[in-house]
Amino acid sequence: MGQTARTTKLLLDLSEREQGGANRAKRCYLEETVAVLDAARRFYLDFFLTHPDKLMERVEVISKKTGEVTLALVSADKLLTWAEFQTVATDAHPDPLPEWNFTSTFPDFPNRYRRSVIKDCIGKARGYLTTLSTWQWSGKKKGKPGTPTAANHPTLYAGTYALELDTLDLCKSFVRLKVYTGEQWQWVHYPTRYSRYFEQRRAEPGWEQESPKLILSKHTAALHFLQTKTITAQKVVESKRDPDLVTVAVDLNIKQLAVITVRQHGKIIQTRFVTDHGLDSHRYRHLRRSARKQWQSGKPVKGERSNQQLWHHIRRQNRDVAHKTARVIVEACEQYPGCVLLFERLRVIKQARGSKSRRLNRKQANQLKGKINQLAKEKAYASGVVSVEVNPHGTSQYCGRCGCKGVRFTYQAGQRVAGKGGKLFFCPVCHYECHADFNASCNVHHSFFHEVHWQPRLQKSG
Ligand SMILES: [Zn+2]
């Protein structure tokens, strides 16, 4: 049993008014809301840090199962009630602590927001006190933990937001948010960039909704919807005993981003090559151009970022390709329920040689490999497939059929030319010939089952 989480973003439409976006004042309300919530957080953070004894108080807790009495930290709910009693004026309790009067400092502050702020602060303040006491206990001079900051993305609990999704007309969907206008709190409608993909993900069975967060950045605003799912998957040790087990092995490369082979009963039953569609050389051309521009304009200025747009483009492309490749891998796994996904443990890559643009490009390619690996694992786990990392020793050098050391080569004018960068693989012992990445992918299965013991190249005897 495990749990996995994902977020789905719903962008608020902040484009120009004529293009259907929210007006300027509404945009300012969002900033005001974040600012006032940060101020409230600052208030409660100070409040809790001046009462550290209450925050770290240990109370007697009676276990429901055994009836034993143990000491435990006071629960967050009890602290919340205590903090509200000390700071908030109500009809039954009209005068809170005079120096900590929240009601007079923040008039008409909505209850829901206040509670979310207090809960947030309890976590922040407790975390700080714990690390502080660990640091004091360690006796080190360096590394004193800094006081926690009040800034955080506001969590929207029920009662502070409402989605109004018009099912008939997807273009006209709004989200209603309780925002601070600078003078008062009021409900405001915001147009959203709602899409059917969002609806599909939101309504997908098995995923549980959590409270969304409002993420406000320089130019955009979005609601991030968190979803969690409970996963039941068999342990790998148990699946390994199953004689009908299907294994899906992935070899990650640069030109062939992923070579996926599916094996059952010792036979490869499906193969899939995922190419990069020229991404590698495309990226290389960009990097070469940026290097030339830099050479023409002189040394880079320290602390100043250059070619931002280009790097943004490269990163976005990498991210997109990584998601798509991971999706293909997971789709291959979903055809065989109960299968195990195999990866090579990623190696520590030596720095590439050659020009600066070539080195940068290799670095990007290796990062892409890591990204595909990570995303495929996450996506596979969400559909109940467990992944295993196997020992990468020798997977690309030895023959997948007989286990002898082979050579890489390419065909040039019908002739075999052996070389390190060759796309094809040839075994001099059993004369097996195939795509080098396919051979590596097959070897990943062998490595998982510990089947083949690699043999050194056989010496030619006279
Ligand atoms: Zn062989």
Distance 449 CA to ligand 1 centre (A): 18
Distance 425 CA to ligand 1 centre (A): 10
Distance 336 CA to ligand 1 centre (A): 29
Distance 256 CA to ligand 1 centre (A): 23
pLDDT recorded at residue 458:
52
Strand partners, 164: 174
pLDDT band at 216 (very low <50, low <70, confident <90, very high): confident
Q: Is the pLDDT confidence value at 169 over 60?
A: no
Distance 433 CA to ligand 1 centre (A): 9
Q: Is the pLDDT confidence value at 403 over 80?
A: yes
Q: Are 74 and 57 in contact (CB under 8 A)?
A: yes
pLDDT band at 308 (very low <50, low <70, confident <90, very high): confident
Q: What's the whole-number mean pLDDT along residues 21-33? A: 81
Q: Which of 170-179, 192-201, 324-333 shows the lowest mean pLDDT across its residues?
A: 170-179
Distance 274 CA to ligand 1 centre (A): 25
Tally of CB atoms within 10 A around 386:
19
pLDDT recorded at residue 462:
36
Q: What percent of the chain has a predicted confidence (pLDDT) above 70?
A: 94
Q: Most distant CA pair in the chain: distance in Å?
A: 103
pLDDT band at 183 (very low <50, low <70, confident <90, very high): confident
Distance 263 CA to ligand 1 centre (A): 19
Most confident of 28-32, 328-332, 400-404: 328-332
Residues contacting residue 184 through CB under 8 Å, at least 6 positions apart: 108
Q: Cα separation of 115 and 113, whole Å?
A: 5
pLDDT recorded at residue 457:
56
Q: What is the pLDDT of residues 89-137, one digit of tens each?
A: 777 777 777 778 888 888 788 888 888 888 888 888 888 888 988 898 8
Q: Is the pLDDT confidence value at 375 over 90?
A: yes
Q: Are 247 and 448 in contact (CB under 8 A)?
A: yes
Distance 428 CA to ligand 1 centre (A): 7
pLDDT band at 454 (very low <50, low <70, confident <90, very high): low
Q: Is the pLDDT confidence value at 229 over 80?
A: yes
C-alpha torsion 180→185→190→194, nearest 10: 90
pLDDT recorded at residue 109:
83
pLDDT band at 260 (very low <50, low <70, confident <90, very high): very high
Higher model confidence: residue 168 or residue 31? 31
Distance 239 CA to ligand 1 centre (A): 29
Distance 329 CA to ligand 1 centre (A): 28
Distance 426 CA to ligand 1 centre (A): 8
- Nearest by Cα to 76 from 113, 111, 127: 127
Distance 395 CA to ligand 1 centre (A): 13
pLDDT band at 176 (very low <50, low <70, confident <90, very high): confident
Q: Distance of alpha carbon 380 from its chain centroid, rounded?
A: 14
pLDDT band at 460 (very low <50, low <70, confident <90, very high): very low
Distance 459 CA to ligand 1 centre (A): 14
* Ligand 1 (single-atom ion) residues, CB below 5 Å: 399, 401-402, 404, 427, 429-430, 432
Average pLDDT, the chain: 84
- Nearest by Cα to 248 from 321, 323, 320, 326: 326
Give φ, ψ of 368 to 5 degrees. -60, -40
Distance 349 CA to ligand 1 centre (A): 27
